[in-house]
Chains A and B, each alone.
Chain A
Amino acid sequence: MDDLIKEFLVESIENLDRLDSELVKLESDPSSQELLGSIFRTIHTIKGSCGFLGFSKLEKVAHVGESLLSRLRDGKLKLSPEFTTALLAMVDAIRTMLGEIQSTEADGTETYPELIETLNKLMNEGAQEAPPKAAAETPSPKEHSKKRSGESPKETKEAKEIPTKSVTQAPVTPSEEQAPPARPAPPAPSAGAPEETTAAQQVQDSSRSREAAAETVRVDVRLLDRLMNLVGELVLTRNQITQFSARQSDANLVGPTQQLNLLTSELQEEVMKTRMQPISNVFDKFPRVVRDVATTRGKQVLIEMEGKETELDRSLLEAIKDPLTHIVRNSVDHGIELPDQRVARGKRPEGHLKLRACHEGGQVLVEITDDGAGIDTNRVKNKAIERGVITAQQAARMSEGELLNLVFLPGFSTAEKVTNLSGRGVGMDVVKTNIDRVNGTVDLQTNLGIGTTIKLKIPLTLAIVRAVIVQSNGKRFAIPQVNIQELVRLDADRVKKEIEAVHGVPVYRMRGRLLPLVYLSEELKLAKRTGSQAGEEDATNIVVLQANDHPFGLVVNEINDSEEIVVKPLSKQLRGLKVFAGATIMGDGRVALILDVVGLAQNASLLSEGRDRVLANENAEELANQERDRIEKQTFLLFAGPDDARMAMPLSAVARLEEFPAANVEKSGGEWVIQYRGKILPLLRLDVVLEERRTRQRHPKGPVAPDPLQVLVCNDEGRTIGIVVDRILDIVEDRAEVKLPAVREGIICSVVINDRVTELIDIPALQKIAEANRTLSIQPAEVID
């Protein structure tokens, strides 16, 4: 392909991307001369180059767009959403044509007559609808002042700012206004080839841009990829040489080796930098995406972006582009409600979508937050059962968070209506697979009626990572350093003292907090080393790891060096193994596996996310998983029951927390009730239904409830009941691991939540007790004094 055409393509495609976001921005700030000027110039340049290169069809489209834009710029037309839509359509058409040129070197056969007509119509219609401005051929005061403001600071401003240039062209236009096709001709040479203009200021301008151009070079991405691969291999070789030289004492070898070491690290860092790109490359496409989706669905959405300058490896950027676009679309399409629905819910009519990117602990964090409807876990549950993804029994055992994670399963979509944008059953699972593929994580948080936040954590780069090499039972494994919090070494005698057990589960007390311990040899079912029981008498090494905000200690036999390793993916035969993130070749030429910390934690049941994998795979494993499921993390509502008993129930079972003045309580058939939202809400008093267990006497006249009453409104099998508790304590997320069988009726079991023994209440059982009490009427309900 002709170099000239190639250059034109690269430049134009880049400009078009910018155009998308500029047009959307313009919609919110229609009077910005700067934006209009910039948009106009881009189209103008494309048009000019097309004429030059002989792409007449493309020129025609660009020409109509340019005419429309020039009127907008001159204030003869006012920007309305139709204009933006038409202009965006024009950008799309140009993009298609450029694509055509790229593959065939011709601008295709499509001439876009409809688009041209629309643009022309808009131009003429707009002109009629806005006669005061269109008729302003003799400069109106406003026009006049603008002209002057454009002209007077010209000398000073021109040198600095390009926009003024387009403004100064304004005086030419009025006279030629009735014949738009003729108009663009004069400025073509100036803007089409700005560097060649003779005006003194513009020479200055162009020399400036040339200076900037001299400092950057366009490089083929494939070349960068190759460089990166080579550096990866170089790092490996460097590692081999360093290891070899460590055993040598020859200064002639050791010195240069050190030098090689340093140089390689530096080279690697720099090469890595060449591949870093700001996330704005992806983010900048979103205003357009949001606008498109919002317009077709009749929604109003404001998009806010933060941390656009955050950089990450371009291969990663490429990898997260589609998932991110999907999430953004989803948020607008399904998350954010229609304006009237929003108003009805007491929100502002326009939805808010926020994108945030930042570096966090060697990773890139991308957060997409909307203030839409949130995800209804009940709907998720029903859908999942309906589609046969899970069984009803499984669903009943799942926590809110686990239900939410079901949306990541293949073939799952909660959209009631399938739109052409999203909700076709492919969606979040693709997002998750794509993010998983780059060793990233997806986290979904939702608040029904308030909004949804999706957090993506993505590693900075894929290829080379710093890792600590550990050994267990004679086998080596690499752990990426980003996952490691600290290393702890315990002597043999301290091991006995300081590794304790909570109900058989080993823990280590680290700075006053219990750290669950996972033995690598057990997790990986490594064959015991011949001879002594490894780890029993030896010192114990604990690698403190962080998996999705949950620290845990990994017990290994030995902790070796930290090393730069080149991560190689596992072949597809091994992708099912979540405990490994990949493999690497060590300095001695042997292969070592890289541990996946999150996978390891899941394997050890420290995290519950492993579930969906199990679910997706096999229902047959259900039984085996039951035990594990129960100890998975849940969100609990902690409250104080009678006699300050610490109690909890899963938050998912609580519909609302309410306060009622004690005076509102009424009695109906020996039962406490209260009027609540136009219905009668039966109240269940824990102090009445729970069997006493302490020796102290209760209040002589029966329990006295605090005023106001603290009530947990729960839905139990279609019935709404209120549970009266003493105090609401907290909402915590916990695994509630340690269990004791219940000591009294109405309690499922005792668990340890937040390091304290807590009773889990059993609502159906409590209701049964209450019913029994009522029918026997042995328990007179006391009215509050």
Chain B
Amino acid sequence: MAALPHPSASGRPVLVVRDLHAWYGESHILHGIDFEVREGEVVTLLGRNGAGRTTTLKAILGMTDRRTGSIVVNGQETLGMADHRIAHLGIGYCPEERGIFSALSAEENLMLLPAVGAQGMSLDEIYTMFPNLKERAKSPGTRLSGGEQQMLALARILRTGARLLLLDEITEGLAPVIVQKLGEVILQLKTRGYTVVLVEQNFRFAAPLADRHCVIEHGRIVQTVARAELDDSKAVLDELLGV
């Protein structure tokens, strides 16, 4: 079922996913995902473990073994594109396991990613947003605490100039004070007009940030709830998410 446009989202569509199927080897994980995200929106993908949320992000970036359907990013169809070119449409990706390279220092991790957009944040802006990272610049990437690694994983995609951010479980396993800080960062990004797709387990974290919530079950989007409808849909969401 297609996602309903949010009343306040008047921006152009940045990401349009239609009938997306994806496979790892023989396992058919996504069974026709449909959704779209407009410029400046924050949209969450909710669902139980194994429902296909992470795979949806990976499929967008060409990291699954095989995919069919259509994924249009900023007006350009990405199926059939070389995998390494997809990010250059302006996508920043923060993987679930954070993906900090352990053989690289924090600073090398930060500077590694190629620019994919024109207005990447400067180092000054990044260090203002994440002051801890400046002190740890020379440390090997994996010597950082979990919170610092998560900040680094976010910071390095902001430096690339990506305007569409795919963030996978960024609050997982982090202390409440860090989770709160991440929430502030997402709100800041939203006011700056970034478009964010957030895979989240932590509904309490996601609820105040997101314009819309898409619930994935068995590789399909089974429910889309706009922020205004949250109170009315509470019972349905609780049931679907098993919380």
Q: Do A and B come from one complex?
A: no
